[in-house]
Amino acid sequence: MLIDSHCHIDGEVFDDDRDDVVQRARDGGVAAMLNVGTGDPHSDDFRRAVAVAEKYENVFASVGVHPHDAKLYDDRAEEKLIELAKNSEKVIAWGEIGLDYYYDHSPRDVQREIFRRQISVAKTLSLPVIIHSRDANQDTVEILTEEFGRRSDAPRRLDAKNEDKPYQTARPVNAESLTDTVSLAACGDADKSVRAPGIMHCFGGTPEMAEKLMEAGFYISFAGNVTFKKAENLREAARVVPLDRVLVETDCPFMTPVPHRGKRNEPAMVVHTARFLAELYGISFDDFARQTTANFLDLFTVETFPITAFGNN
Ligand SMILES: [Zn+2]
Ligand SMILES: [Zn+2]
C-alpha cells in the first residue's frame, strides 16, 4: 500500500481516462493520492481540483496558489480558496506554495510575500503546507525556518555509512494498525502536540537543505527524478532523510520515473520511485511502502480517514 503524496490528475491531460487512471493506481497498490490544485485562483481551476477529490473516495485535495501565479493572489482569491478548503473535507492541505526562481513567472518579491501570506492562512486553517521550491532553496529554507521555527523532535542525522543500522526509523510502523484500525490517526503518534508543518514536495535540493527543512519539521517527498541517471545529488539527499520523514510522489503528469521516462506520468507509477528508494535505503519494498504510508497518515491525522479507501494490500 502506497500513497502518492502529490499529483495533478485534474488537468486536461487526464480528461479522457481519469477513471482508468484512478483505478490503475488502486490496482497497483496506490491506496490514496493527494491531488494538488494549481492555476488561476480567480478561475475554476481549484474548484475542478477539489471536484476530482470529491468524486473519488481515495483522492484528496490541496488548494493554494503556486509561486508561478503569486502575482494573481489577492483578497478575493484568498477568500475563494478558503471557502473551498472549508467546504470540502477532502481538502487536507494548503499548497503548493513557495518560490520558483527558475521560471520567474511572478516577480520574486511578490513570490516571497505571497508565500508568507499563504503560510499564515494555512496556519489559521490548521492545514499542513505543500512546498514548491525551484532554484530558490536558500530563500525557501530561510522563510520556512522563520515561519515554523525549529523543532525539538526533529530527526537527527543518521550515519549513512553505518551499514549495520541503515535508516532505522524512530517510530516503527505497526502494520496491523494500517489495515484493521478505523482511526488511522493511531498509525502515528496521535498525541503529538506539535504537528508537522508540511511537505517539501519534489525535493530538488542538497542534503544540507533536507536537514534544515527537517529541523523545521518538514517531511521530504521524492518524485520520479530521483530515479534519473544523473540525479546522484538527489540520491545523496535521500540518504540523509530518515525513513520516518520520507514520502513519495509522482507530481504527474510530469517527472515520469525510470523506466517510463518520456511517457505521461500517473499515480500508479509512484511504485517505481518507491521501489527505487526502497533499494537505496536497503529495505524491502513492503516495508518502505508501509512506512511512507504511515508517514503520510501521521502528517494529516485526519480523524475519519475513509479506511475503505485503503484496500488491504
Ligand atoms: Zn511543484
Ligand atoms: Zn506539483
* Domain positions in the chain: 2-306
| pLDDT at 181 exceeding the cut of 90 | no
Cell of 233: 545529488
Nearest ligand to the C-alpha atom of residue 201: 1
CB 39 within 8 A of CB 12: no
Ligand 1 centre to CA of 176 (Å) is 33
CB 189 within 8 A of CB 169: no
CB 249 within 8 A of CB 222: yes
Spell out which residues have Cβ within 5 A of ligand 2, the ion: 251
| pLDDT at 109 exceeding the cut of 50 | yes
Section 129-142 average pLDDT = 98
CB 225 within 8 A of CB 234: yes
Section 7-20 average pLDDT = 97
Predicted pLDDT of residue 76: 98
CATH number of 2-306: 3.20.20.140
Nearest ligand to the C-alpha atom of residue 4: 2
Confidence class of residue 194 from pLDDT cuts 50, 70 and 90?
A: low
Nearest ligand to the C-alpha atom of residue 250: 2
Ligand 1 centre to CA of 130 (Å) is 9
| Closest-CA residue to 58 (of 299, 277, 268, 276) | 268
| Closest-CA residue to 267 (of 97, 84, 38, 56) | 56
Ligand 2 centre to CA of 254 (Å) is 8
Ligand 2 centre to CA of 5 (Å) is 10
Confidence class of residue 150 from pLDDT cuts 50, 70 and 90?
A: confident
| Residues 6 or more apart in contact with residue 245 via CB below 8 angstroms | 155, 214, 218, 219, 220, 295
Confidence class of residue 302 from pLDDT cuts 50, 70 and 90?
A: low
CB 68 within 8 A of CB 105: yes
Percentage with pLDDT > 90 across the chain: 79
Ligand 2 centre to CA of 38 (Å) is 8
Bond from prior residue into 83 cis (ω within 30 degrees of 0): no
| pLDDT at 116 exceeding the cut of 50 | yes
Section 146-152 average pLDDT = 84
